[in-house]
Structure 1
Amino acid sequence: MKKVVILFLMLCSFAFGAEFDMKTTYSLLLNTTDDGFGEITDSKDIIVGSSGIVMHKFSDGSKSIIARAVVTEKKAGFAKVRFELFDSLKQPALPIPKILPENGDEIVLNYLYDRALIVAPNEEVFKEITNHFKNITFVHPDMMGSYLSYEYKPNPSKNDFRLMCAQNAAGVIFIALDGEAVFADCGSFNVLKKFKSKDISYYQLPFYTRITDIDTVFWKLDSAKIGNYNKYYKRLLGDK
């Protein structure tokens, strides 16, 4: 009974008082620079590291996504954004837009931040997190597990996560670590929000999923299994 109580307290600590509700914001692009940056009006819902899309309106009234935007700086009532190629909706039959962002285009930030991939160390933590963040639709880790199993990739890379985010229309990824949990942007892997948590008692590698045959093959030199869960995902997040 004592062990059950300790485990319950450990799980609750992941989400106690934790919230993640980054509302989608809509702004007009005020100006652009030749080196691929632009500026919009700042707001409390915009944070450095968040991302979104650039919507261009054509003369016939139609709209199209022409680029990705990442917030790099907030200063004096304005937010600076960096433009990147948006290929999440890439289709072989459709050309990639070659229109550069310009003044008056709409910037939609915190794009798809209500859908998330989840990396949890075990089933108990997975259930606690998904039960707590009711406003977030979590993509079940079996989707990622199936992909990794098919690709013989027991060590998911940033590009693997980006691909799965794009295929599942997710804008963020939740990663539960020992002593800490984070929401990070799917594209940039910038940490958007951190939460304190207790120690993790046991791990399933590479993360909790019901797919049990994520293995490696000798001819893929980059498919070694993860040795240390926390060290691996901290490195993906840029924390050496």
Structure 2
Amino acid sequence: MNKFLLIAVTTLLSMTIANAKTTVCYKKDWNSPSTIETTSLDGGECASKYSIKQMKDMGWNVLDIKIDSSENNLSYQYLLTNDAINTNSTQEVKVASNTNNQLSFKAIGAKIVDVKDNKTTIDIGNLIIGQSGIVIHIYDNDKRLIVANAEVIESNETSSVVKFSEFKDIKQDAIPTSNRTVQKDDILVLNYLYTASLLIAPNLETFQTVRGSFKYNNFLHSDIFATKLKIDNMPFLTKKYIQNYAINQNLGTIFLVANQKVNVLDTKTLKILTSYDIAYDTSKTEMPFYTRVTDIEKSNLDIDFNVFTSKENLSYDQYYKQLLGLK
């Protein structure tokens, strides 16, 4: 059974749009939501040449999004305008660094010189415990194979220790697997996919501020995540559910706003890598997070009423502080 979601921005924002040109762009049967904003769309001014990101760079704004889900594919339809959108917002939200940890979202490469007890030491210091990456083996014909996941477990000023684990991200029976393990001269790539991110925020203003403050990150829109929650009947999240979704969408980092902070988590390790102060109005929060998708309900067959009621009574901050184990 197809599930159809109509997400109307106009019902949520107070807009002033006069004498504006509009256009409709679409993409049918797309199975990679994390790349939709950088994929060329069909129709209208997009004309199979421009993505949503490129349209925004050219001065277009999204008025409306329609998402139609069928089996494992999603179809998107965007209504855009070339006029400015006035949200009549007076709240000022600022992001400021809250930690001395210097997290870089850029990929870091290093050649592996030795492997002992499934670990290696690299001559790169001041990394953050919990940073992750992958190990790539390059064959003579320049073909490449990901052979392992990697996680930073120790770091000082001059070097870091990295531990390897099985790479399980791609789960396809039709794709052959390899028994190859990490060897000398393989390539370690840390911060793999760190600029592809999931953002969980309490309201529209905070959502927009975080996206605007991390311009080099490609954030999967919360509406796409919420669509999955609606299909799965998941009104309340778990860390494992968030992690599995982010891994399936090839997202390397999770930005979770809670307790007046932007907490940046590594998708693979679920470690909080760093955090930034952010001010937002706790009386204006949405559960489970900001989204224009409504009526995300749990299946009646799966309800544990005691657990459901206890979670339902938590505020946004209380819920995510509990989820992340924050104090």
The alignment's TM-score, normalised by the length of structure 2, stands at 0.64
**Number of the residue aligned with 2:193:** 112
Letter in 2 for 1:207: F
Match of 2:158 among 68, 77, 82: 77
Contact 1:53 1:107 in 2 (8 A): yes
Kindly indicate whether structure 1 or structure 2 has the higher relative contact order, using CA contacts under 8 Å at least 6 residues apart.
Answer: 1
With over 3 angstroms needed to count, the CA separation of the structure-2 counterparts of 1:71 and 1:238, relative to structure 1, is farther
Once the two structures are superposed, the pairs formed by residues 1-240 of structure 1 within 5 Å of their partners are 5=90, 7-8=91-92, 11=93, 13=94, 15-16=95-96, 21-34=104-117, 36-44=118-126, 46-75=127-156, 77-201=158-282, 202-221=284-303, 224=308, 225-226=311-312, 227-239=314-326
Contact 1:21-1:135 within 8 A present in 2 as well: no
Cα pair 2:259 2:321 within 8 Å, conserved: no
2-structure distance, mates of 1:17, 1:194: 7
Instruction: Say if 1:136 and 1:192 are closer, same or farther in 2 by CA, change over 3 A.
Output: same
Q: Per the alignment, in what secondary structure is the counterpart of residue 264 of structure 2?
A: strand
CA contact (8 A) 1:51 1:109 kept: yes
Aligned with 2:302: secondary structure? coil
* Code of the aligned partner of 1:90: K
Alpha carbons of structure 1 residues 77 and 20: separation in structure 2 relative to 1, 3 Å? closer
Contact in 2 for aligned 1:142/1:210 (Cα 8 Å): yes
- Give, in whole Å, the separation in 2 of the partners of 1:131 and 1:75: 32
Distance of 2:303 and 2:120 partners within structure 1: 40
TM-aligned CA deviation for residue 20 of structure 1:
6.4
Aligned mates of 2:148, 2:97 — CA distance in 1:
36
Q: Is the 8 A contact 2:251 2:267 kept in 1?
A: yes
Q: What TM-score do you get using the length of structure 1 for normalisation? A: 0.85
Shift of 1:41: 1.7
Larger Rg, first or second structure (1 or 2): 2
CA shift, 1:194, in A, is 0.9
**1:85-114: per-residue Cα shift (whole Å, max 9, x none)?**
222223221133221112211100011111
Give 1:37 deviation, angstroms. Answer: 2.2
Residue ranges of structure 2 left out of the alignment (5+ in a row): 1-88
Determine the C-alpha separation between the residues in 1 that align with 2:279 and 2:157.
Answer: 38
Is the contact between residue 120 and residue 176 of structure 1 (CA under 8 Å) also seen in structure 2?
A: yes
Q: Offset at 1:59?
A: 4.6
Runs of 5+ consecutive residues of structure 1 not aligned to the other structure: none
> 1: distance between equivalents of 2:259 and 2:156?
34
Q: Percent identity among equivalent residues?
A: 29
What amino acid is the match of 1:38?
T
Going from structure 1 to structure 2, the CA distance change for 1:76 and 1:114 (only over 3 Å counts) comes to: closer
